Amino acid sequence: MKNINIMKFNALMVIVLMTFIGCAEKKSNKLADTFDKDAKEELIDKWYPLALDKDDGGYYTNITYDFKVGKEHEKMIVTQSRQVWVTSKAYKEYGDKAYLTYAEHGFKFLRDVMWDKENGGFHTLVTKQGEPIVKPYEAKTAYGNAFAIYALAAYYDVSKDEEALDLAKKAFMWLEAHSHDNEFKGYFQHMEMDGTPIVRTEDIPSTSDAGYKDQNSSIHLMEAFTELYQVWKDDTVKERLTELLLLIRDTIVNDKYSMDLFFTPDWTPVSFREDSKEVIQEHFYLDHVSFGHDVETAYLMLEASEVLGRTDTEKTLEIGKKMVDHSLTYGLDKKLGGFYEGGYYFKGDDVLTITNFDKNWWAQAEGLNTLLIMTRMYPDDKMNYYEKFEDLWTYTQKYMMDDTYGGWYSWGVDVRPEVKEELKGHVWKTTYHNFRALINCKHQLEMLNAE
């Protein structure tokens, strides 16, 4: 009788356990479906085909809070390229040829208008009709050309249009000839129209980044070359991608496991730590801890390492984990959730101080993706990444996503409620960070379900 009771108990426990697992899988599957719906129906289908400029080519820059075409439409290479990338990836994800048509529309604008046919390289900014707008120190940038390469490689991947790959190759070789630093490695960010790197002089304002190297162009060059190397197995691309990965991981990431932002050509960090708090705040753009970039870079480094097939990916993952842990420890709003815009280690302090309490859309998006990666890589870690992911998702839904008109606000409305009636799209904001994050999260959740 005792053995029968034990058998009944064990059978009951198996049923309970299987029911629990089944409920957890259903919950996770449902969440993956939610991410898919928010990516397609609540984001890109709000944007496209609305954003296509059928008169002058490319995509409209300003999209209003209620998804109407705005008024100002200077076109930046970064914004235009990101939309080619998104629509290419949307086609790859959903197989709807309309997305491929939207991507082709943007590709033609990059090829026919944004590419400088006289000097090579992509213009940073043009008018709605395509006339170059040359601002001081910004005629050409490594950052802008990186996003063009990123877009062209993604578009080629789905279209097999050799013109797109040829243009990506031309842009890469243009950077190789003009922007790459053969002495100290990495890339010069700012260039003249002919590609000559801008040298920092005493007459450049101290608050300007002109003439500096920087983490932001470096991580996005790495991102672009990761995309390019998957469709063009070129030895020089592999060499430059490896160079950037190691430069970011071993030099740009500092001993506190955040990234320094700007550097002199020999990779000496630009710092105002010895100055007053007033001076530090004045130079916030050049010198602070950017939690969003740190969590994003943890993901981008891992992606690059895996595409390269490196044998030290475990080291890259460990450093990325420490960057994420630092951001969770110091950069997360413990009450409402969300990553803050920035903080600072003031001289003599071991603990970081938040100096900018705003919460931008892209940091939350990148955080969602990276936290799910950490969940998969470190399922039993004391940081409890999945719980942090759920908290950030709750914050994002409540304060970042517009449940009336769709899309994402530029800033968390818990800090800046006025953005509810501000532009959904502008020269620095399209669908790139949030679409990529939502789709990546969908795939991460599906993998978690399968493990």
| SS3 per-residue string spanning 57-74 | CCECCCECCCCCECCCCC
Report pLDDT for 8. 52
In sequence order, the β-bridge partners of residue 52 are: 59
b/e map 194-221, b = 16+ CB within 10 Å: ebebbeeeeebeeeebebbbbbbbbbbb
Give the span between the Cα atoms of 62 and 73, in whole angstroms. Answer: 6
Element (H, E) at 34: helix 2-39
Q: What is the pLDDT along the chain (451 residues), one digit of tens a residue?
A: 445 455 554 555 444 444 444 444 555 689 999 999 999 999 999 999 999 999 999 999 999 999 999 999 999 999 999 999 999 999 999 999 999 999 999 999 999 999 999 999 999 999 999 999 999 999 999 999 999 999 999 999 999 999 999 999 999 999 999 999 999 999 999 999 999 999 999 999 999 999 999 999 999 999 999 999 999 999 999 999 999 999 999 999 999 999 999 999 999 999 999 999 999 999 999 999 999 999 999 999 999 999 999 999 999 999 999 999 999 999 999 999 999 999 999 999 989 999 999 999 999 999 999 999 999 999 999 999 999 999 999 999 999 999 999 999 999 999 999 999 999 999 999 999 999 999 999 999 999 988 7
Cβ(149)–Cβ(168) under 8 Å?
yes
Report pLDDT for 2. 45
Cβ(168)–Cβ(156) under 8 Å?
yes
Burial class (CB in 10 A: 0-12, 13-18, 19+), 288: buried
Tokens for 311? Answer: 């044998």
Query: Helix 142-159 crosses helix 162-178 at what angle (to 10 degrees)?
Result: 160
Q: Please report, for the chain, how many H helices and E strands are present, in that order.
A: 14, 8
What is the identity of the amino acid at 30? K
What are the backbone angles phi and psi of residue 155, rounded to the nearest 5°?
-65, -40
Closest residue by Cα to residue 146 from 209, 228, 61, 251: 228
Tokens for 207? Answer: 């608050």
Alpha helix locations (H) across 331-360? none
What is the identity of the amino acid at 161? D
Give the span between the Cα atoms of 397 and 413, in whole angstroms. Answer: 11
Give the span between the Cα atoms of 451 and 446, in whole angstroms. Answer: 9
Element (H, E) at 161: none
Kindly report the CA angle at 363 between 359 and 367, in degrees rounded to 5?
120
Kindly report the CA angle at 336 between 335 and 342, in degrees rounded to 5?
90
Tokens for 13? Answer: 């426990």
Sign of CA dihedral 186, 224, 440, 331: positive
Give the span between the Cα atoms of 265 and 346, in whole angstroms. Answer: 25
Element (H, E) at 342: strand 342-344
Query: Helix 432-450 crosses helix 77-94 at what angle (to 10 degrees)?
Result: 30
Closest residue by Cα to residue 244 from 271, 211, 217: 217
Cβ(279)–Cβ(272) under 8 Å?
yes
Report pLDDT for 9. 45
Give the span between the Cα atoms of 387 and 393, in whole angstroms. Answer: 10
